[in-house]
C-alpha cells in the first residue's frame, strides 16, 4: 500500500487509541497531532512530544500531510479545521457524528469540488462496519427501514434497570463509574448522540438528505422502574431505538425514542453497551449487525480501517473510492411525529372508583384508538391505582388528543408515561 503521512486532530481516548493502532503499520506516518493542552501529562510509552501542536492549522496547511484524521468531536472548531484541510487538498477520516449530521452536506460538497474524499466509518456504531457496506456491497438494495440501538450508554442503563432492578439514577451513576457515561450525560441520555447517527445512516441508506432538526428526539430520563417492570410483565424490554423508514407515500420517518421491544426480537437481546443495527432491504431482507459501538479500540478499528483502504486506493488512482463521494442532492420530506402510526404503552394514575377503566376505554374509542391490553397495578395508599394500557396501531396525534381529554377528567390524576411499541 501507498505510504501516507497523516495528522491527527484530537488526542483523547479515541485519538490515543488510533495512535496505538497506527504504530503497527509501517506505511502510515504520523507527522503531527493537534491537542488543546500541550502541558497535559500523557501516559504513552516512548511518545515523542515534539509531534504535538496546539494549532490544528499547522496540520491542515502542511503540504507534507496527505490525510487528516479528526477525532476531536463537536462542530466548532472542527468544521473550520476540516474545511481548511479540504481546501488544502487533504483527504479526511473522521469519527465526528455531530459535525456530519449538522454540517456534513457543506463538507461533502466542498470535498467533491476539491477531488478529495471524507471517510467516516467510525462516526456510527464505533467498531461495527456499516457505512462502507451500505455504500458498496449493499448498494444493489433498496433499503426501506433502519431500526437500531446506537448508544451504548443508554443501552447499559436500561439493561441494568431491567436485569438488576436499579433505578435510573443508580444505573446512570454506575455507568459513569465504569466510564460508559460522561459526567454530563445529556448527549447520550437525551438521545442527541443516537439522533446524529440515525441522521447519517438514513441519509446514505435512503439517498436523501436528512435534516437533523426535523428528527423527533426523546431520551430515557423519564423511564421509571415501574415502566421497566410493567414492560417485563407484558413480554417486552425497553430500548432506546433510532429508527428511519421510507413510507408508502415516499415520505421519510426518522426519530429516536424509547420503545417497548418484544423479548423475542433480536434488538431486545442486545445488552449493556453493545450496539446493533437492523436494516431491511430488497432483495437482502433483514440484516442485523451487532458489536461494540464505542470505546478507544473499536473506534480506532474503524478509523484505521478507513485509512488503510484509502492508502490502498491511492496506490492506483488519484480519485479514490468514487462510491464514497456524496451525491445526495435531494432533501427528504420528513414527517412530524404527530403523523406517525404506532402501538402504544401508556401508564396512568387514576382514582380507584367504579367506571374509571370504562371511561378510559370510551375516550380512546372516541379518538380512533383500540385497546389491546389494559391492567390495573394494585391500589395506592391514597386510593389511586396505576393503570397500564397497550393500544393497537393508532395515529400519534389521536393518542395525544385522547391523553389531553383524560387529563381533563377528575378521575385521571396523572399521565405517568407514554412509550411507543415496536411492531
In the chain, what are the domain boundaries? Answer: 4-126+296-322, 131-292, 339-421
Sequence-separated (6 or more) residues with CB below 8 Å from residue 49:
42
Q: Is the peptide bond before 77 cis (omega within 30 degrees of 0)?
A: yes
- Nearest in space to 242 (alpha carbons), one of 171, 178, 147, 350: 147
Question: What are the pLDDT digits (tens) for 15-45?
Answer: 999 999 999 999 999 999 999 999 998 888 8
- Asked if the model's pLDDT at residue 188 lies above 90, the reply is yes
How high is the pLDDT of residue 308? 93
Average pLDDT over residues 104-128: 94
Question: Which residues of 218-265 form beta strands (DSSP E)?
Answer: 236-246, 252-262
346: three-class secondary structure by DSSP: strand
Classify strands 28-34 and 4-9 as parallel, antiparallel or unpaired.
parallel
Terminal-residue alpha carbon distance, the chain: 47
CB 263 within 8 A of CB 181: no
> Can you say whether residue 104 is alpha, beta or left, with left for phi > 0 and alpha for psi between -120 and 50 degrees?
alpha
Exactly one of 160, 197, 208, 239 is catalytic; which is it? 197
Cell matching residue 151: 448508544
CA–CA separation, 273 and 158 (whole Å): 10
- Asked if the model's pLDDT at residue 1 lies above 80, the reply is no
What is the CATH code for 131-292? 3.30.360.10
CB 18 within 8 A of CB 12: no
Cell matching residue 96: 465526528
Sequence-separated (6 or more) residues with CB below 8 Å from residue 318:
115
Classify strands 252-262 and 412-421 as parallel, antiparallel or unpaired.
parallel
How high is the pLDDT of residue 320? 76
CB 281 within 8 A of CB 142: yes
197 tagged catalytic: yes
CA–CA separation, 322 and 315 (whole Å): 15
Asked if the 4-126+296-322 domain carries CATH number 3.20.20.100, the reply is no
CA–CA separation, 245 and 255 (whole Å): 9
Question: What are the pLDDT digits (tens) for 262-316?
Answer: 999 999 999 999 999 999 999 999 999 999 988 889 999 999 999 999 999 888 8
Mean pLDDT of the chain: 95
- Asked if the model's pLDDT at residue 322 lies above 90, the reply is no
How high is the pLDDT of residue 293? 87
Question: What are the pLDDT digits (tens) for 368-389?
Answer: 999 999 999 888 999 999 999 9
222: three-class secondary structure by DSSP: coil
Which overall architecture, per CATH, does domain 339-421 show? 2-Layer Sandwich (3.30)
Question: What are the pLDDT digits (tens) for 229-262?
Answer: 999 999 999 999 999 999 999 999 999 999 999 9
CA–CA separation, 414 and 126 (whole Å): 40
Percent of the chain with pLDDT over 70: 100
Amino acid at each position: 500500500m501507498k505510504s501516507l503521512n497523516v495528522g491527527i486532530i484530537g488526542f483523547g481516548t479515541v485519538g490515543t487509541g488510533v495512535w496505538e493502532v497506527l504504530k503497527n503499520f509501517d506505511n502510515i506516518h504520523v507527522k503531527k497531532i493537534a491537542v488543546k493542552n500541550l502541558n497535559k501529562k500523557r501516559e504513552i510509552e516512548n511518545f515523542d512530544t515534539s509531534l504535538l501542536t496546539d494549532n490544528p492549522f499547522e496540520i491542515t496547511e502542511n503540504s507534507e500531510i496527505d490525510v487528516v484524521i479528526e477525532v476531536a468531536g463537536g462542530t466548532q472548531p472542527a468544521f473550520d479545521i476540516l474545511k481548511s484541510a479540504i481546501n488544502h487538498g487533504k483527504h479526511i477520516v473522521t469519527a465526528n457524528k455531530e459535525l456530519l449530521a449538522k454540517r456534513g452536506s457543506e463538507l461533502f460538497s466542498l470535498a467533491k469540488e476539491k477531488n478529495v474524499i471524507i471517510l467516516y466509518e467510525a462516526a456510527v456504531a464505533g467498531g461495527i462496519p456499516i457505512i462502507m457496506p451500505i455504500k458498496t456491497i449493499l448498494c444493489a438494495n433498496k433499503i426501506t427501514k433502519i431500526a437500531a440501538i446506537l448508544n451504548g450508554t443508554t443501552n447499559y442503563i436500561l439493561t441494568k434497570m431491567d436485569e438488576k432492578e436499579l433505578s435510573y439514577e443508580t444505573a446512570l451513576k454506575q455507568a459513569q463509574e465504569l466510564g460508559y457515561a460522561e459526567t454530563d450525560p445529556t448527549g447520550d441520555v437525551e438521545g442527541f448522540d443516537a439522533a446524529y447517527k440515525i441522521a447519517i445512516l438514513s441519509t446514505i441508506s435512503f439517498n436523501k438528505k436528512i435534516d437533523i432538526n426535523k428528527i423527533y428526539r426523546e431520551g430515557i430520563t423519564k423511564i421509571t422502574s415501574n415502566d421497566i417492570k410493567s414492560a417485563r410483565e407484558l413480554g417486552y424490554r425497553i430500548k432506546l431505538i433510532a429508527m428511519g423508514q421510507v413510507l408508502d407515500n415516499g415520505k421519510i420517518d426518522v426519530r429516536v425514542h424509547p420503545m417497548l421491544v418484544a423479548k423475542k426480537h433480536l434488538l431486545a437481546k442486545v445488552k449493556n453497551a453493545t450496539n446493533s443495527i437492523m436494516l431491511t432491504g430488497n432483495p437482502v431482507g433483514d440484516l442485523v449487525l451487532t458489536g461494540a459501538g464505542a470505546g478507544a479500540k473499536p473506534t480506532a478499528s474503524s478509523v484505521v480501517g478507513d485509512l488503510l483502504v484509502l492508502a490502498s486506493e491511492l496506490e492506483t488512482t488519484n480519485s479514490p473510492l468514487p462510491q464514497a463521494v456524496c451525491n445526495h442532492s435531494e432533501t427528504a420530506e420528513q414527517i412530524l411525529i404527530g403523523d406517525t402510526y404506532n402501538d402504544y404503552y401508556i401508564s396512568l394514575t387514576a382514582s380507584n372508583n367504579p367506571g374509571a377503566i370504562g371511561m378510559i376505554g370510551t375516550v380512546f374509542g372516541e379518538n380512533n384508538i383500540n385497546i389491546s391490553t389494559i391492567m390495573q397495578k394494585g391500589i395506592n395508599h391514597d386510593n389511586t391505582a396505576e393503570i397500564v394500557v397497550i393500544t393497537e396501531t393508532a395515529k400519534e396525534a389521536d393518542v395525544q388528543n385522547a391523553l389531553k381529554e383524560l387529563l381533563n377528567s377528575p378521575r385521571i390524576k396523572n399521565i405517568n408515561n407514554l412509550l411507543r411499541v415496536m411492531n
